[in-house]
Structure 1
Amino acid sequence: MIQNRKDFASVLEKLDDQYHGLFHWLAGQYDPATGGFYYAKSSINDHYFSPDIESTAQALNMLIRNNLIDDMPNQMRTQMVHFFQSKQKEDSGFFYDDYPMMAKDEVMVHRAINYSINSLKRLGGNALYPLPLEAKSAPDYVKSPEEYLKKWRSIDLSNSWRGCDLLATSCVYLEEMPKEKRVPFLEVAEQYLASIQHPQTGLWGEGSLYVRISGTFKLHTFYSKFKIPMPNPDRIYQSILTCLKTEEAVDMCYIRNPIDLLSYMNLSIPAHELLEILEITATNINKLKREDGGFSREIEHSPPAPNVAQVKKGEYYPNMPEPVCLGKGLYEGDMNASTQATLIRLKCYSLAGITAKPIKGYQEFYRLL
């Protein structure tokens, strides 16, 4: 057992070496004029781009994960609260960035509500206006459990990642509901998911193993949020193990999603298999580290539009959303990948049963602003 701890500590040290310069990069993404964060360095000096909801919430998550939220200067806290509040529309309660295409991507619209509300709570602020359900601007499918199930059945799962993202993010309206009204919606959703889960793999939808695991990861947000047990975790685990050993992780999401799923399922993983999982993860994440201190979503570049998923040649991606470009697509760090990298680190430590300290250099962050 002692030898196992030494092995785990060794691979975690190898992982930690890859976070050098991260907080220097993060500080450079902050815009004190708006209280928001930019997606990438290439976004900062181009007037087309501006700080956005997702990047700002993801930056806040990085600060929280490294014990920096309590030390945040009052002026910065006030500016960040104002940033999220300024994104909410008074008439509908939705939160929108300045990019027109964002409103056409259902997933981004739903994520913006979650990101904004959660960030405001963490910063000690509140939304200025009623949220969509109370404002009566939510979609018609949340009017009854029957309509909700009809909506879920209509979602194409040919690409599990995209389809399950649509399923899971639609739950943002259920969070607004009183518990007694929410229950029948949850019941039909849970029954539907159980009926379409693959009996052998434990995964949902179609696509490569990484695509299906990414879709399953999206659904775990539904299960965990409403404290519903995810069915067949042992089969999901075997699929994850097979995937890590046989497929190439070409996207930071492909590194984060399996680790996050494993952490959520809380299974008893044999020590030798867990060590192999951590070693594969550390090797994969190293491929996405960039010289600017951040991490990139993809091996060849940071995608300019993070709302468009990685699609391999020959793979089908239904209802491809309009790209919402937040950067220039250069070989550089981006906020989406960098926040995932900090979460991967924490999950790896947790799986190994070792307490994680903040990333080296975290104390420099506020001095660098």
Structure 2
Amino acid sequence: MNSEKKEMLEIMNELEVNFDGFFQWLAGQYDPVTGGFYYARSSIKDNRFTPDIESTAQALNILIRNDLLKSLPEEIRQQMIVFFQRKQDQNTGYFLDENPAMKKDEVMVHRAINYSAGSLRKLGSTPLYPLPLEAKSAPEYVATPETYLKKWQSIDLSNSWRGCDLLATSCVYIGEMEESLQQRFLNEAVKYLASIQDPETGLWGEGSLYVRISGTFKLHTFYSRFNIPMPNTDLIYKSILHCLRTEEAFDMCYIRNPINLLSYMDVSIPHKELKEILKITTDNVKTLKRTDGGFSRELDHSPPAPNVAQVKKNELYPDMPEPVCLGKGLVEGDMNASTQATLIWLQCHQLAGLQAKPIKDSETFYNFLQQKIV
């Protein structure tokens, strides 16, 4: 084994230590009554909260990333399928949780379509009803490429993270279109994004460096979904490296988003810089590990409403969404941060040129799950 590979393995071993107790925590989030997963420990015994779409989809992704889906008991698989199917409105095709504030947040509404339809596909099933575009319940702005462009132009990017999230998630409707029609919409989207990209940093929108990188990460979901090359990745890489070296990562998203972008962009990274990036990432993940076994979104607590965690008090955003509370905001693990931690694990391996394996003790998940069910 050469010295460079040895260094990479040492960092990955250091990262893996942070997952001690993780799969016991994950099993504890499962609700055998609904087949869904709760957001945090504080959510379970509080009747204000129920298992939600995002947390359940994120838990499923953790299982897949650790090669656990194939061992999922058939009864639980069927129950998870029913969980997502029951969330779909028969008339509109949208998937919604019980919290009435959710339907007021475009990002959560759009994300729920992707999460639910994607989870059903992974579980070997499908939605019960047509999705919004086919159900003719999609917003009026999806009518033509011109109206779609007007919608995009109206989105405020003073907080890049929130604004670019609105841009990217709105493309859920483009994903439903037939290919010939889809291309017309994509052409307008690509031209518009190119016109507003910062020529010096390669980033989009405004805000702190981590906020702009997070916004750029959101847009990568658009480019990657439709197999379109993201422009100026060399500039984005320089911005990421500068940010990692100079800014505090007080949110799990600030740890995951740069790694996710680097993994997607597939830029050539010198070994010395790669080692630095992976070490910074590992050290940052440590700060968000919690004693319950999970990970928190933020340094000081797990945000009770993940849909507004993007927008800090010192980063005003005129279209602040109404909170969709999933937990109490305690210092505890939450599903949002925890699924990101497992993705960081995979993508750090990818960047290091190593074969990712299931996280240590992942095979104990079903033992703990059985205890939960009994």
Q: TM-score range by the shorter chain?
A: over 0.9
Aligned residues of 1:289 and 1:333 also touching (Cα < 8 A) = yes
Q: Which residue of 2 aligns with 1:130?
A: 130
**d(CA) in 1 for partners of 2:318, 2:356:** 39
**d(CA) in 1 for partners of 2:309, 2:246:** 21
**d(CA) in 1 for partners of 2:71, 2:92:** 34
| Matches for 1:111-190 after TM superposition, within 5 Å | 111-190=111-190
Q: How many angstroms does 1:29 deviate by?
A: 0.3
Q: How many angstroms does 1:3 deviate by?
A: 1.1
**d(CA) in 2 for partners of 1:247, 1:127:** 42
Q: How many angstroms does 1:314 deviate by?
A: 2.9
Q: Which residue of 2 aligns with 1:69?
A: 69
**d(CA) in 2 for partners of 1:121, 1:312:** 35
**d(CA) in 1 for partners of 2:82, 2:313:** 42
Bigger mean CA deviation after superposition, 178-187 or 304-313: 304-313
- TM-score calculated relative to the size of structure 1: 0.99
Q: Name the amino acid aligned to 1:359.
A: I
Q: Which residue of 2 aligns with 1:59?
A: 59
Q: How many angstroms does 1:202 deviate by?
A: 0.1
Q: Which residue of 1 aligns with 2:372?
A: none
SS in 1 for 2:279: helix
Q: Which residue of 2 aligns with 1:345?
A: 345
Q: How many angstroms does 1:6 deviate by?
A: 1.0
Q: Name the amino acid aligned to 2:181.
A: K
**d(CA) in 2 for partners of 1:99, 1:324:** 7
Q: Which residue of 1 aligns with 2:212?
A: 212
Aligned residues of 2:39 and 2:55 also touching (Cα < 8 A) = yes
Q: Which residue of 1 aligns with 2:192?
A: 192
Q: Name the amino acid aligned to 1:255.
A: I
Q: How many angstroms does 1:315 deviate by?
A: 1.9
Aligned residues of 1:251 and 1:310 also touching (Cα < 8 A) = no
Q: Name the amino acid aligned to 1:203.
A: L
**d(CA) in 2 for partners of 1:362, 1:161:** 32
- TM-score calculated relative to the size of structure 2: 0.98
**d(CA) in 2 for partners of 1:363, 1:14:** 20
SS in 2 for 1:36: coil
SS in 1 for 2:71: coil
**d(CA) in 1 for partners of 2:92, 2:255:** 36
1:238 aligns with 2:238: yes
Unaligned runs of at least 5 residues, structure 1: none
Q: Name the amino acid aligned to 1:122.
A: K
**d(CA) in 2 for partners of 1:154, 1:187:** 18
Aligned residues of 2:96 and 2:112 also touching (Cα < 8 A) = yes
Aligned residues of 1:240 and 1:258 also touching (Cα < 8 A) = yes
Q: Name the amino acid aligned to 1:185.
A: F
Q: How many angstroms does 1:311 deviate by?
A: 3.9
**d(CA) in 2 for partners of 1:30, 1:125:** 20
Q: How many angstroms does 1:309 deviate by?
A: 2.5
**d(CA) in 2 for partners of 1:311, 1:161:** 8
Q: When the two structures are aligned, how many residues end up with a matched partner?
A: 369
Q: How many angstroms does 1:284 deviate by?
A: 0.4
**d(CA) in 1 for partners of 2:83, 2:169:** 22
SS in 1 for 2:235: helix
Unaligned runs of at least 5 residues, structure 2: 370-374
Q: Name the amino acid aligned to 1:16.
A: E
Q: How many angstroms does 1:310 deviate by?
A: 3.9
Cα-to-partner distance string for 1:125-162 (whole Å, 9 max, x where unaligned): 11000100011000011100000000000000000000
Q: Which residue of 1 aligns with 2:23?
A: 23
Q: Which residue of 2 aligns with 1:252?
A: 252
**d(CA) in 1 for partners of 2:146, 2:357:** 47
**d(CA) in 1 for partners of 2:61, 2:149:** 32
1:108 aligns with 2:113: no
Q: How many angstroms does 1:361 deviate by?
A: 1.1
- The structure 1 segments of at least 4 consecutive aligned residues displaced by more than 6 Å after TM superposition are none
Bigger mean CA deviation after superposition, 309-318 or 202-211: 309-318
Bigger mean CA deviation after superposition, 59-68 or 5-14: 5-14
Q: How many angstroms does 1:317 deviate by?
A: 2.1
Q: Name the amino acid aligned to 1:159.
A: N
SS in 1 for 2:101: helix
Q: Which residue of 1 aligns with 2:99?
A: 99
Q: CA RMSD in A?
A: 0.8
**d(CA) in 2 for partners of 1:339, 1:277:** 20
**d(CA) in 2 for partners of 1:88, 1:288:** 34
Structure 1 pair 137/263, CA: closer, same or farther in 2 (3 Å)? same
**d(CA) in 2 for partners of 1:346, 1:108:** 25
Structure 1 pair 268/24, CA: closer, same or farther in 2 (3 Å)? same
Q: How many angstroms does 1:313 deviate by?
A: 4.9
Q: Which residue of 1 aligns with 2:360?
A: 360
Task: Quote the sequence identity (%).
Answer: 69
Q: Which residue of 1 aligns with 2:228?
A: 228
SS in 2 for 1:326: coil
Cα-to-partner distance string for 1:223-244 (whole Å, 9 max, x where unaligned): 0000000000000000000000
Bigger mean CA deviation after superposition, 1-10 or 343-352: 1-10
| Matches for 1:302-321 after TM superposition, within 5 Å | 302-321=302-321
**d(CA) in 2 for partners of 1:196, 1:310:** 21
SS in 2 for 1:262: helix
Cα-to-partner distance string for 1:14-53 (whole Å, 9 max, x where unaligned): 1011001111000000001101000000000011100000
